[in-house]
Amino acid sequence: MEKRLKLYGFNNLTKTLSFNIYDVCYAKTEREQKDYIAYIDEQYNSERLTSILCQVTEMIGATVLNISKQDYDPQGASVTLLISESGLPEKIDRSCNCGKYTAAYAGDATIAAHLDKSHVTVHTYPEYHPDNAIATFRVDIDVSTCGTISPLNTLDFLIDSFDSDIITIDYRVRGFTRDTSGKKLFIDHKITSIQDYIKDETLRRYDTMDINVYQANIFHTQMLIKELELQNYLFKTDVYEIPPKERLAISNSLRREMIEIFSGTNVYE
């Protein structure tokens, strides 16, 4: 077990993990595209997302103070969890629901809650464009913690929770804390790359790229799926129903879409 740092007072470091994934699908007709969006919306509704975030909270050893969740029309969902580093504080704002989402908070009600030290949020963005028959599903997850807990150990679970073709991960440690001698500590754990916290089996499936600013404790990793098995990207269509030349064209179209998202630029214009 890693030796704990002896600190003066509270650990004031803020550790923020931003996890962004894209799932890409080929849906040829307008009807298929709308059906895909409806399917994704159901698969990743606020209930399922809340379950995922609660597991993340448990994994980092935190306690849920409050849950706010919402499904949107025509599509998409958002969930926010306010969390505590350890057990429930003795004094807690009465507006907090301690993780219990009840009918009292449904509809257009606004939830105001006490934020103890940390929060976890997720937002989904399903979309498609009728001209190129490609639909995408984006998930943004942010885990921000104060104190000793760190969200990095949840990465494998988050990656496995979604069909991830492109993954973008940012991790930053802000602020400083002090040891008992008064020396400032701007980071309290060792890290050379976000990839250090992702299992080898997962890394073998992706092409990866790092951009790290060590002096500022800023770490960035991008991941692009290597193998594209066309059947996995066809919505309600069997690959053998498609002529070979069209299969190749679809595969190329999907790969171009992924490369542009990974690169953050319109490469093929």
Are 3 and 173 a contacting pair, CB within 8 Å? no
* Annotated catalytic residue 251: no
* Annotated catalytic residue 123: yes
Q: Which amino acid is at 56?
A: V
Tell me which of 46, 118, 150, 161 is the catalytic residue. Answer: 118
Cα distance between residue 97 and residue 99, in whole Å: 5
Q: How far is CA 152 from CA 83, 195, 232, 268, in A?
A: 16, 10, 29, 34
* Annotated catalytic residue 98: no
Are 239 and 229 a contacting pair, CB within 8 Å? no
What is the per-residue DSSP string for 5-29? PPBSSS---EEEEEEEEEEEEE--S
Cα distance between residue 164 and residue 136, in whole Å: 11
Tell me which of 96, 146, 150, 164 is the catalytic residue. Answer: 146
Tell me which of 123, 193, 220, 251 is the catalytic residue. Answer: 123
Are 224 and 206 a contacting pair, CB within 8 Å? yes
Q: Could you give the residue numbers annotated as active site?
A: 118, 123, 146
